[in-house]
Each structure stands twice: as structure tokens, then as C-alpha cells.
Amino acid sequence: MSTSQLSFFDTSALGGSQSNLYWGELPGDRALEEAAAAAQQVAKAPAPIPAVLPKVDFALTGTRGLAQGWKERARDNLAAIRLLATLEAEDRNASPDEQAVLARFTGFGAGELANSLFPRAGETFRAGWEEIGSQLEELTSQQERAGLARATQYAHYTPELIVHAMWDLAAQMGFRGGRALEPGCGTGLFMASVPPKLAPKTAWTAIENDPLTARITRKLFPNQWVRSEDFTTAKLAERYDLVIGNPPFSNRTVRGTDELGRLGLSLHDYFIARSISRLRPGALAMFVTSRWTMDKSDAGARRTMFETADFVGGVRLPAGAMRDDAGTDVGVDVLVFRRRAPGEDAGDATWLDVAALDDTDQGEGPLRINRYFAENGQQVLGRHDWTSGQFGPEYTCKANPLQMLDEALPLALGRLSSLARFPVPQTLDVAAVQDNHAADVGTAADGALLKEGSFLLHKGVLHQIIDGETVLVKVKKGEQKEGC
């Protein structure tokens, strides 16, 4: 018997040169182990938190870059509606690039859009508009389309040139921020164009009747109070430092149970009168409105405004000033009003009357316009003339081909800058004002959670909805007489 010791590994299938096992360290083993360890660490690590877009209000320093043709404008509207659906489905804020898309929503008030995309019952889309009309049907509910159709008579958004010129005037008159109201806000062009230094000092209440448009506006201005309501019935507090905007151009008569509602004012005149009534004493309102506010023979609406406010001055724009952006040829004025303080004497009443223009009788009688514009020709950016209207010859302010509106309008508005000054705002605590509007307040038709008069707990404190705002409710303690 051999005295040599046999190795098990040398005399079995586990040994010898044919062994397929290697008991040393293979070159790739360490890399595999490190990869496995790294994988274990990744498995233990928390999942990355998705980026949350902050609430940033849209700011417009120039123009929105609107498309040139109405079909392209319609496609931009569809793009905004499609994006809104995505943002709401994902329950998130819009990025700056997405807000630029939303801001190009212009509504369907232009005649080319309204007549092509909202056919009467039993009719079809206008020839050549079938594809866009079908997409609109796919993207919106029947209720949403009905709202957009109703809004076509009012949806004429103000050109940026006019918006910026009005803000320049507000700054020249000393606006320093505070509470601001934009009635009939559309997508909020006036909110978007507030000067950068004033934006963080201004808390907005913006009211838009069309629900879909209001939803777009909320994505553009997540830090402001955008209310989807009818301005003629919306509850409003009397506290605004500024009202600025473009009341809907309409001869529709407003009927209501309040004092203004019983006067039978046209819609745009009602907007102006009601907005003025909600100003603080000394505060200012600026409007782009139909020339009929000033030119109506019946001075009833103007006298109603004059009961509480003075007319500071205005500018008459040439025919066609709204055509390219808004798709309407309605004649418009920019008007400025100042709310009087209690006991303050009323100002000049010239603007209450209309006057005949000399040498304008061509067989139909002379042209008759507001005395203010008849006597202040420098505030008229054009020439008084006759034109053919829907019901025969009528007045127009014919444009001067040598006059550039982007130069003439700021110059004319600048003449008003020394005639009135904004008072010091009551509060510049914009965050507190915005927080006060955090509750979902509205009407039953809007589907809002909270109605006028409702009670709620906000941050653990009892509040009540009064005039559309959350107001702190005082609770009696001990022998206090005030509170409930």
C-alpha cells in the first residue's frame, strides 16, 4: 500500500485538468459583487420625488405672438383647450412654456370664428372648417361648447398695445398696488401686463362668465382669485384700489333686483357703473368700452356713474383698432373714472351731454357725439366722419393713415396723468389677501363647494362667506358683547 496520500480533488471528477470549477477569484467577480451591492442600495433608497412646478403667475411684457390667420387662431385655441385637459388630468401647475400656449387662447368672438364653428341647429360647420370644428367637438363637452358659443358675443380681447398703454397711465397716476378688480377678465390680459414692480404688490379678483375660459385663466394665474361667475350677480366687496379691464360690448339690457339692476342699463354700462361702485373713495377705474357709453343720447347711464364718480378723461380710438386682435370693428374709447370721497363736490359734468358736430349734415342730420370728445379734439385719434352701418349711415372715427397708434395712444393717455392720483392702498399684504381667497367660493351653477353665507373652518379658525370672500367670524369669549 502506498504511503502517499491521495487528494480527493485529484482522483475524482472534481479534480484534474478537466475540472471546470475554479476556486480562485475570476476577473469579473468583484465587479459583479459591487454591482449587486449597488443594486441593493438602490432598492433601499426612496424613490425620487417628482418635480412639482411652483405656482407662478403668467407675465406678459410684449405680445402673445398671435397667429395671423383666423384658422391658425382657432388651432391655437384648440391647443390651449387640449393642454388645459392635460394639466387638469395631471392635477398640476403649468410651466412657463405651457402658460405661453394657454395665453394664446383668444376665445371665439371674432366673426370668422363664431360663424364658422358654432352652426345653428341642423346646420354644419362652414366649408373648410370641418376639421377644426370636429376637433373642437372632440375636445369639449356639449356644455362647454354651449358656454363658448354664448361667449362669442362678448369674447373680444383687448390688443396688447392698448393694455400696456393703460398700465403706463396707471403707473403715471401713482398706482402702488393693492386690491385690483378685472371684471369680464377673459384670459386675464390686464393681470398679465401689470408692471413687474407692481405685480407682487397687487392682489387680483378676476371674474369670467365662461367656465372653460375661467379654467384656463386659473392655470395662468394660480396665485390670484379667478372666479367663474356672472359679474352682474357676483357678490363683491367695496374695497378695490383699482378696476381695469374691457367690459363686454353688448346692448343686452341687464335686469336685476338691486338698485343698478332696476335701471335697465346695457351690459357694458352696467359693468362700468357696478365696478365704480366697488372702488374705494379716491380710487380709479380704467375701461376699454364701446363708444356708446359716451355717445348715447340718453344720459341715464352716465348720470348713474356721475352719482359716485367723476370722469377724469378719455381717448377715442380710430375705427379698426380692435380688428386684428379681436375681430371686431366696434368703435371704442378708453375711459378713466375716479370715485369721489363722501361729501366731496362733484367734478365737471360736460361729459353727460352729447353735441352736434358742425358741418357734418349730409341729409341725415349732423353727427352727434359726446361733448367731451367734441370739445377735446386732441383726445380723438382720428377724424369724425360718416360710414355705412347695419342700419344705414352712422358715425365713425376714421383713422389717420399717417398716425401710428402705438405712439398716439400713450401720448393722449399721458395728458390725463396729472388730472388724478391714486390714493395710498389700504393694504400691501398681498399674501394675506390671496390667502383669504383660498376657499372654493362660487355659485351652485359653478359647482363650487362654498356658497354665499356659508361657514367654514380655514386654518382652524371659523370664517363665513360674505360678499364672495372668506371673512373671519368673531366668537364671543366670556362677557364680550361682540361675536357669535
Q: For residues 435 and 338, is the Cβ–Cβ distance under 8 A?
A: no
Tell me, what's the pLDDT at 10?
41
Inter-residue long-range contacts of 88-96, CB under 8 Å, 24+ positions, other chains counted: 88/215, 92/52, 92/53, 93/52, 93/53, 93/54, 93/55, 93/56, 93/219, 93/222, 94/53, 94/219, 94/220, 95/53, 96/56, 96/58
Q: For residues 413 and 334, is the Cβ–Cβ distance under 8 A?
A: yes
Residue 152 pLDDT grade (very low, low, confident, very high; cuts 50, 70, 90): confident
pLDDT tens-digit series, residues 345-376: 999 999 999 999 999 999 889 999 999 999 99
* pLDDT of residue 209 exceeding 80: yes
Which of 116-125, 262-271, 436-445 reaches the highest mean pLDDT? 262-271
pLDDT tens-digit series, residues 226-245: 999 999 999 998 789 999 99
* pLDDT of residue 46 exceeding 80: no
Tell me, what's the pLDDT at 444?
52
Tell me, what's the pLDDT at 431?
58
pTM reported for the whole predicted model: 0.81
Tell me, what's the pLDDT at 457?
65
Lowest-confidence segment of 52-56, 120-124, 159-163, 406-410 by average pLDDT = 120-124
Q: For residues 93 and 53, is the Cβ–Cβ distance under 8 A?
A: yes
Tell me, what's the pLDDT at 312?
98
pLDDT tens-digit series, residues 437-470: 555 555 554 445 456 666 666 566 776 666 556 6
Looking up cell 339692476, which residue turns up?
261
235 or 4, greater pLDDT: 235
Mean pLDDT of the chain: 85
Average pLDDT of span 60-66:
89
Residues 6+ apart with CB under 8 A from 335: 272, 286, 287, 289, 293, 294, 311, 314
Tell me, what's the pLDDT at 441?
55
pLDDT tens-digit series, residues 273-312: 999 999 999 999 999 999 999 999 999 999 999 999 999 9
* pLDDT of residue 63 exceeding 70: yes
Tell me, what's the pLDDT at 297?
96
Tell me, what's the pLDDT at 466?
61
Alpha-carbon torsion angle 130, 133, 139, 145, nearest 10: -150
Residue 52 pLDDT grade (very low, low, confident, very high; cuts 50, 70, 90): confident
SS (H, E, C) the chain: CCCCCCCCCCCCCCCCCCCCCCCCCCCCHHHHHHHHHHHHHHHHCCCCCCCCCCCCCCCCCCCCCCCCCHHHHHHHHHHHHHHHHHHHHHCCCCCHHHHHHHHCCCCCCCHHHHHHHCCCCCCCCCCCCHHHHHHHHHHCCHHHHHHHHHHCCCCCCCCHHHHHHHHHHHHHCCCCCEEEEEECCCCCHHHHCCCCCCHHHEEEEEEECCHHHHHHHHHHCCCCEEEECCCCCCCCCCCEEEEEECCCCCCCECCCCCCCHHHCCEHHHHHHHHHHHCEEEEEEEEEEEECHHHHCCCCHHHHHHHCCEEEEEEEECCCCCCHHHHCCCCCEEEEEEEECCCCCCCCCCHHHCEEECCCCCCCCCCCEEEHHHHHCHHHECCEEEEEEECCEEEEEEECCCCCCHHHHHHHHHHCCCCCCCCCCCCCCCHHHHHHHCCCCECCHHHCCCECCCCEEEECCEEEEEECCEEEECCCCCCCCCCCC
Q: At what angle do helices 405-414 and 160-172 cross, to 10 degrees?
A: 30
Lowest-confidence segment of 45-49, 213-217, 226-230, 474-478 by average pLDDT = 45-49
Lowest-confidence segment of 3-12, 22-31, 41-50, 430-439 by average pLDDT = 3-12
Tell me, what's the pLDDT at 3?
42
* pLDDT of residue 380 exceeding 90: yes
The percent of residues above 90 in pLDDT, for the chain, comes to: 65
